[in-house]
Amino acid sequence: MKILHLYHDFMNLYGEWANVRALERLLEKNGISFSTDKLSLGDSFEPEDYDFIYVGSGTERNRNVALEHLRPYKDKFGDYIEKGKVALFTGNSFEMLGKSITTADDTIIEGLGLLDATVKEQNKTRITSDVIYNADFLSKPLVGFINKCGRLEISGDKLFDVEYGLGDSEGAKTEGVRKNNLFGTHLTGPALVKNPHFLVYLAELLIGQAPDDSSLGYEKAGFEVTLKALKERAGAER
């Protein structure tokens, strides 16, 4: 199995490298052989060579730099998605995959056009929130943190339903996108460490069977503590 951690050095705003390390650790515990390539600007790659591609969150400036580097790979990455291969983009990185990003000064940046989505940024305040999300493919909710400056408008398969906190835009009841086995979400945290059941789901897609998750005791305990606290806060705010 081959893993690609793309833009590991500058799309790592919230310690997002830990998402890849969590997956590596789970694969190790299950006796799965793998290798991980950490590539960035100046590196070339072939998406089809990989079984899992990950990109984390960065500043808006870094996201735009990453977008320009990724642009020549649009068609090949589109093929990767259409074949149902697994990818995870967290934080603002999945905004690169949409049709356009309109910056706060009304500059329009063309996206890769792999998702039917647009982003409109504003510079007055950051949009932040702790969140609880639900997904029809997971038995438990997800927890995490959102920190962004853009509002997303998206069509197609939504990823999560909002139970508490912010969605794609003000008042939205959904967040993120799923296209085949591409998952895009603004969840940071890192998301796979805070939500071990999501980690297990992605691992199952990769290896074709449910992995042994007995090594995730601390992650599971942390998830339960966080979920309990957020549910109590949500109840108090009603």
- The residue ranges of every structural domain in the chain are 2-237
DSSP letter for 210, please. P
In CATH terms, 2-237 corresponds, of 3.40.50.880, 1.10.3470.10, 3.40.50.1580, 3.10.129.10, to 3.40.50.880
pLDDT lower than 50: segments of the chain = none
- Specify the pTM: 0.96
- pLDDT at residue 59, as a whole number: 92
DSSP letters along 87-147, please? Answer: EEEEGGGGGGGSSEEE-TT--EEE---SSSEEEEE-SSS-EEEEEEEE-TT-SS-EEEEEE
Amino acid identity at 37: D
Q: What is the mean pLDDT of the chain?
A: 95
Strand 52-55 versus strand 86-90 pairing type: parallel
**CA angle centred on 33, ends 29 and 36, rounded to 5°:** 100
Helix H, strand E, coil C: the string for 19-79 is: HHHHHHHHHHHCCCCCEEEEECCCCCCCHHHCCEEEECCCCHHHHHHHHHHHHHHHHHHHH
pLDDT tens profile 128-165: 899 999 999 999 999 999 988 888 888 878 899 999 99
Query: Is the CB of residue 207 less than 8 Å from the CB of residue 32?
Result: yes
